Structure 1
Amino acid sequence: MEKHDLIVIGMGPAGMAVTAMAANMGLDVLAIEKHKVGGECLNYGCIPSKALLKSGEANQITKNLKEFGIKLSGKTEVENPLEIVRAKIGEISGNKTMKAFKRAKLIVDQGAAEFIDKKVIKVAGKKYSADKIFIATGTEPLIPPIPGLKDVSRLTNLNIFAQKDIPESLTIIGGGAIGSEMAQAFSHLGTKVNIFQIDDHLVPSGDKEAGKVLEEKFKKEGIGVYNNIKINKVEEKNNKILTTTELGVFKADKILVATGRKAILEPLKLDNAGINYNKTGIEINNQLETNIKGVYAVGDCNGKALLSHAAMHQGMLALMNAINPTPIKKFHYNDYLVPWSVFTKPEIAQAGITEKEAKEKGMNYQIVKEEYANYGRAIADGKTEGFVKVITNNKGKIFGATIVGEQASELIHEWVLAIQHDISMFDLMMTQHSFPTISLMNKRVAEKWMMNKTNSGWIPKLAKKLI
């Protein structure tokens, strides 16, 4: 039986973070991946979806050239965007990715790892042991119990990028990040798209007002959005997918299921090691350690934050905790704010709490909001949809920020830093931002907060007296 310092099970974002850092420190690392290094994020999720969105955006730009005073003779023809997406993924996951792990021992595509006991696993009939084991097996698409759905030729993020051609029509179940991004990507490439969901607005985990801005954009682009809709059944007839709802039957060439994720736990045989788990994932403490000392669960498999950047961050924290010889300074994953972004046009990004959550908690708060349409750079760019909305209070403490609009996914990080390190609205207002950058939108919100303070209460009276 082979003995190693560390064993990492799963080479998605979390597992890659642990493996790269540990191997760079000179530790003897065994990394196991049952399919492809990079996991879902690189091969079936974050990266290919962004590549397809970029293809769709390029095509959409040609349709809007008149807005910039440019005339186009003829029209574009969608040829092979999915082939190009696959080529880009191959380039990323080729030598560049493998080179980063040359100091570790990799076992790829030899089957799933399973626990024999607390510190021993088995892969393809061979046993391996380590004092520290990191489980990073991720999640897989959740298929809801809609009558007939499991019997039709359905798409998920696992196979949508493997298609040969762009479909003429597409039904999407689910209006979260995956459903919304794929709806716009395919629509921009010429597909007729309809989205159905049980929630009352797109990107339901976020701000309702932001979701409605995106919905209006979708409707302008010809995407059908059907909220609060129950699907009665799905069936396949004559190579078409028929989706029956209370509004009638919708026909499409393909159907994409984007209704959430579930942890991949069964192949691990966690019971052999006595590792506790529940329906949402592997149970961990705030140091990302399971109930078995020296065994950690990082990334989506623990169900805490189903986001690639959270997985990478957890991998880093877990390794730092594992090699720390003292209990004095341990890193707790819940001490770090987790932002998220949806890469549609306009983008949506969130950090901290939403307005709805502030209301539910009965907080004493105020909303400061600045519209993109009020800023000259956004008008010049023709990107006036959206807003920056901040949950704050009279003292300028920041509790949350919602952004819907151009470069929202980039702007959100200033608010992450502010919330995590208790930087106030006044501090942001006093920070110079280069003009005319889109990031100046953040400063404009802080300025608006200050203007609200100075035009009410005792301040105007004092100012007049001093002048």
Structure 2
Amino acid sequence: MEKHDLIVIGMGPAGMAVTAMAANMDLDVLSIEKHKVGGECLNYGCVPSKALLKAGEVNEVTENLKKFGINFSGKTEIENPLEIVREKVGEISGSKTMKAFERAELIINQGEAKFVDKKVIEVDGKQYTADKIFIATGTEPLIPPIPGLKDVHRLTNLNIFEQEDIPEKLTIIGGGAIGSEMAQAFSRLGAEINMFQIDDHLVPTGDEEAGRVLEEKFKKEGIGVYNSTGINKVEEKDGKIITHTDAGVFESDEILVATGRKAVLEPLQLDNAGIDYDKNGIKINKRLETNVKGVYAVGDCNGKALLSHAAMHQGMLALMNAINPTPIKQFKYDDFLVPWSVFTKPEIAQAGLTEKEAKEKNINYQVVKEKYENYGRAIADGKPEGFVKVITNSKGKIYGATIVGEQASELIHEWILAIQHNISMFDLMMTQHSFPTISLMNKRIAEKWMMGKTNTGMVPKLAKKFI
């Protein structure tokens, strides 16, 4: 039986982080991946979806050049964007990615890993042991129990990028990040889109007002958005998908299911190791360790935050805890803010509390909001949709930030830093931002907060007296 310092099961974002860092420390690392290095994020999610969104954006800009004073005679022709997406994924997942794992031993595409006992893992009939074991097996698409859905040809993020052509008509179930991103990408590449969800606004985990801005943009682009709409059954007739909904019957060439994720734990045979788990994932403590000492569960498989950056961060934290010689200073996953972004146009990004969550927690808060349409750079760029909304209080403490608009996924990082390190609105106001960057929107919010403090009460009277 082979003995290693560490065994990593799964080479998605979490497993890759553990493997690369541990190997760089010159630890003896064995990493096991049943399919492809990179997991869902690189091969079927974050990366290919952004490549397809970019193709759609390029096409949309080309078809709207007149808005920038440029005349274009002709019409774009959609040829092979999905093939280009696959080529880009192949380039990224090749030698550039694999170089980070040169010092680790890898078992790739040789079957599922399973626990024999608390310290022994078996793959393809061979057994391996290690003092520290990291489970990083991720999740898979959740298929809701809609009558007939499991009997028709359906798309998920696992196979949508393998399509040869853009479908003429695409039905999408789900209005979250995946559903929204794919709706806009395929629409801008020529598909007729209808999307359905049971929630009452797009991107339901986020701010309702932000979801409404995106919905308005979708409707302008011809995307059918059906919120609070149930699906009664799905069937296939003459090669077409027929979707029966509360809003009527819709026909399409394909149907995409984007209704969430679920952990797949059965192949691991966790019971052999006595590892606790439930329907949400593997149970962990705040150090990301399971009930079995020395066995950690990181990323989506623990159900805490189904996001690639959270998975990478958890992998880093778990490894740091595993090699820490003292229990005094431990790294807890919930000490660190988990932001998220949706890469539609306009983008949506969130850090900390939404306004709804602040209200539910009975926080004495105030909302400061600045619209993109009030800033010259956004107008110059032709991107006036959206706003920055910050949940704060009279002292400038920042509880949360919602951004919908151009470069929202980049602007959100300043608010993550502010919330996590207790940086105030005053501190942000006093920080110079290069003009005319989009990030100056953040400073404008802080200035607006300060204006609210200085134009009421005694401040105007005192200012006049001192002048």
TM-score with structure 2 length normalisation?
A: 1.00
1: CA distance, partners of 2:350 / 2:368: 15
2:30 maps to amino acid:
L
Q: Which residue number corresponds to residue 334 of structure 1?
A: 334
How far apart are 1:10 and its partner, in Å? Answer: 0.1
Aligned partner of 1:41 in structure 2 is 41
> How far is 1:201 from its partner?
0.2
Per-residue CA deviation, residues 147-198 of structure 1 (Å, 9 max, x unaligned), is 0000000000000000011100100000000000000000000000011000
| Residues in 1 aligned to 2:246 and 2:412: alpha-carbon distance in whole angstroms | 38
How far residue 246 of structure 1 moved from its aligned partner, in angstroms, is 1.7
The count of aligned residue pairs is 467
> What is the Cα deviation at residue 413 of structure 1?
0.1
Identity %: 83
TM-superposed CA distance for 1:99, in Å, is 1.3
1:98 matched residue in structure 2? 98
Query: 2:347 — aligned with what?
Result: 347
Task: Report the counterpart of residue 321 of structure 1 in structure 2.
Answer: 321
Q: Which residue of 2 aligns with 1:220?
A: 220
Question: For 2:112 and 2:455, how far apart are their aligned partners in 1?
Answer: 64
Q: 1: CA distance between counterparts of 2:136 and 2:445?
A: 39
Match for residue 361 of structure 2? Answer: 361
Question: Which whole-Å deviations, capped at 9, do the CAs of 1:274-317 have from their partners, x for residues lacking one?
Answer: 00001100000000000000000000000000000000000000
Q: What does residue 12 of structure 1 align with?
A: 12
Deviation at residue 219 of structure 1 after TM alignment: 0.1
Q: Secondary structure at the match of 1:100?
A: helix
One-letter amino acid matched to 1:76: T
Partner of 2:311: 311
SS of residue paired to 1:130: strand
User: Please, which moves more after superposition, 318-327 or 455-464?
Assistant: 455-464
> Secondary structure of 1:202's partner?
coil
Tell me the residue number matched to 1:163. Answer: 163
The match for 1:71 is 71
User: What letter matches 1:204 in structure 2?
Assistant: P
Segment of structure 1 superposing worse, 91-100 or 351-360:
91-100
Quote how far apart the aligned CAs of 1:145 are: 0.3
Q: Structure 1 residue 403: deviation in Å? A: 0.0
Partners of 2:238 and 2:399 in 1: CA distance:
53
1:229-308 matches, within 5 Å, as 229-308=229-308
3-state DSSP of counterpart to 1:441: helix
Counterpart-to-counterpart distance in 1, 2:306 and 2:52? 21
Q: How does 1:171-190 map to 2 (within 5 A)?
A: 171-190=171-190
TM-score scaled by structure 1?
1.00
- 1:453 equivalent to 2:450? Answer no
- Note the residue ranges of structure 1 that are not aligned, 5 or more in a row: none
Offset, 1:97: 1.2
- Which secondary structure state, in structure 2, belongs to the residue aligned with residue 422 of structure 1? coil
Q: Name the aligned partner's letter for residue 163 of structure 2.
A: Q
Give the C-alpha shift of residue 364 in structure 1.
0.2
CA offset digits 1:213-239 (Å, max 9, x no partner): 000000000000000001000000011
Q: How far did residue 101 of structure 1 move?
A: 0.4
Q: Which residue of 2 aligns with 1:137?
A: 137
What residue in structure 2 maps to residue 464 of structure 1? Answer: 464
Deviations 1:330-382 (A, max 9, x none): 10010000000000000000000000001111110000000000000000001
**Which residue matches 1:401?**
401
| CA-to-aligned-CA distance 1:94-126 (integer Å, 9 cap, x gap) | 111111101000000011100000000100010
Could you tell me how far apart the structure 2 residues matched to 1:460 and 1:302 are? 54
- Aligned with 2:388: secondary structure? strand
C-alpha separation between the residues in 2 aligned to 1:232 and 1:78? 34
> Aligned partners of 1:111, 1:10: CA distance in 2, in Å?
11
**Match in the other structure for 2:376:** 376
The match for 2:416 is 416
For residues 19 and 160 of structure 1, what CA distance do their matches in structure 2 show? 29
Shift of 1:465: 1.5
Q: Residue by residue, what CA displacement relative to the aligned partner does 1:431-464 show, whole Å, maximum 9, x if unpaired?
A: 0000000000000000000000001111111111
Cα distance between partner residues in 2 of 1:264 and 1:450: 50
Alignment deviations for residues 21-67 of structure 1 (CA, whole Å, 9 cap, x no partner): 00000000000000000000000000000000000000000111111
Matched to 1:197, the amino acid is Q
Between the aligned partners of 2:386 and 2:79, the Cα distance in structure 1 is 32
CA distance in 2, matches of 1:465, 1:282: 65
> What SS does structure 1 have at the residue aligned with 2:116?
strand
Q: What does residue 389 of structure 1 align with? A: 389
For residue 330 of structure 1, give the secondary structure of its aligned residue in structure 2: coil
AA aligned to 1:139 is T
- Greater shift, 90-99 or 310-319, is seen at 90-99
1:315 and 1:330 map into 2 onto residues whose CA distance is: 14
The one-letter code sitting in structure 2 at the alignment partner of 1:167 is P
- What is the SS of the residue equivalent to 1:19? helix
Deviations, residues 308-328 of structure 1 (Å, cap 9, x unaligned): 000000000000000001011
What amino acid maps onto 1:235 in structure 2? E
Paired letter, 1:2: E
Superposed CA RMSD in Å reads 0.4
* Separation in 1, partners of 2:246, 2:6: 54
Give the 3-state SS of the residue equivalent to 1:129 in structure 2: strand
Aligned to 1:32, the other structure's residue is in SS state strand
Q: How far does residue 87 in structure 1 lie from its aligned partner after superposition?
A: 0.3
Per-residue displacement from partner, 1:416-445 (whole Å, max 9, x unpaired)? 000000000000000000000000000000
Q: What CA distance in whole angstroms lies between the structure 1 residues aligned with 2:379 and 2:247?
A: 38
> 1:119-152: per-residue Cα shift (whole Å, max 9, x none)?
0010001000000000000000000000000000
- Structure 2 CA distance for aligned equivalents of residues 449 and 239 of structure 1: 57
**Separation in 2, partners of 1:381, 1:268:** 51
How big is the shift at 1:395?
0.1
Matched residue SS, 2:344: coil
